[in-house]
Amino acid sequence: MNPLASIFGLGVTFRNTLYDRGIVEAHRLRGPVISVGNISVGGSGKTPFVITLGELLISRGIRFDVLSRGYGRKTRGVALVDRNGSPEEFGDEPLLIARKLNVPVAVGENRFKAGLFAENEFGPQLHLLDDGFQHRSLARDFDIVLLNSEDSSDRLLPAGRLREPVSSLRRANAVVLTNGTPADSFPLGGKFIWHVRRGVLATKVPDRPIVFCGIARPKNFVSQLRDTGITPAAEFFYRDHHAYTEHDIRDLLKLREQKGANGYVTTEKDALNLGRFRTALSPLAVVPVTLELLDSDNAMDTMLRTIHEHRPSA
């Protein structure tokens, strides 16, 4: 094993042991907490899943808020996301969640403080903890972990993409298998196993477009576009959460001219990060990434029942 990965793994194990043995205590909010996370860096579909789960909660009339770190924002401390704000203020993913779900989204490096803020503002309702599997300082009542097929054979950071070893899945209540990931790739004894179907809503897409995006696994996005019959003239990828600049726009305009493309395609998250530059790329199709939870009624019933049993007063 890579020596740096070994050191990283020892640190993760030591930290988890402190929480597992109660040496370090997690803080508990008055309202129940559902965590959505993963064991690898980016690209598992956490944000689309939070949105899907939020839509299912809304359909049942359950009030909730979302707690997020606000990765990539230039501000500090706890803040309530303004849907008319910017990724620089709140982070691209919290802003997207707030706009899609129209529910309170609180950002903060300390998710417990963000939760206290939300409870002071909106009462002790249910909290969805975005990217929360490793944020163990906040106690949760139901832990959901998204897995993809690469996770089973990947290595710990920095040699691979794993934030913690696969054995950490013992803490999860439910695992969500994405992209046809086989269940027997992981030690999932006693876990609720959920499946999702991913796709894109590709409408009004220009012929032979330039596909560009700054997301964790861009090839997945391109593959989904191709599955709908879209043939890109070219592809241009940036780092996840990329904030676009004038230089980027010039590169994209030049690429369109070189390839004879008829427009552009990108993701909803990238559309937010384009900001004022969005109008410079026309025609631009913004394609939502969709995620459907299969057998959702049963999954929701299971989750809500488990929370009630874990916290009868919730």
Res. 312: pLDDT tops 70? no
Domains contained in the chain, CATH given: 21-197+292-310 (3.40.50.300), 202-287 (3.40.50)
DSSP 22: T
Mean pLDDT of 257-275: 97
DSSP 169: G
Res. 313: pLDDT tops 70? no
Predicted TM-score of the model (pTM): 0.94
Mean pLDDT of 188-195: 94
* pLDDT reported for residue 182: 87
b/e code 44-72 from CB counts within 10 Å (16+ = b): bbbbbbbbbbbebbeeeeeebbbbbbbbb
CA distances from 240 to 1, 53, 105, 212, 309 (A): 27, 23, 21, 12, 38
Mean pLDDT of 106-123: 98
8 Å CB contact between 311 and 141: yes
| pLDDT 10s digits, 75-86 | 999 999 999 999
Res. 314: pLDDT tops 50? no
Beta-bridge mates of residue 144:
36, 174
Q: Distance between CA atoms of 187 and 170, rounded to whole angstroms?
A: 8
Res. 280: pLDDT tops 70? yes
Going by pLDDT thresholds of 50, 70 and 90, the confidence category of residue 42 is confident
Report the phi/psi class of residue 193: left, alpha or beta, with left for phi > 0 and alpha for psi in -120 to 50.
beta
Contacts of 229 (CB under 8 A, 6+ apart): none
Going by pLDDT thresholds of 50, 70 and 90, the confidence category of residue 16 is very high
Going by pLDDT thresholds of 50, 70 and 90, the confidence category of residue 43 is confident
Sign of CA dihedral 259, 265, 269, 273: positive
Per the model's pLDDT, the better-predicted residue between 2 and 8 turns out to be 8
Res. 310: pLDDT tops 90? no
8 Å CB contact between 273 and 244: yes
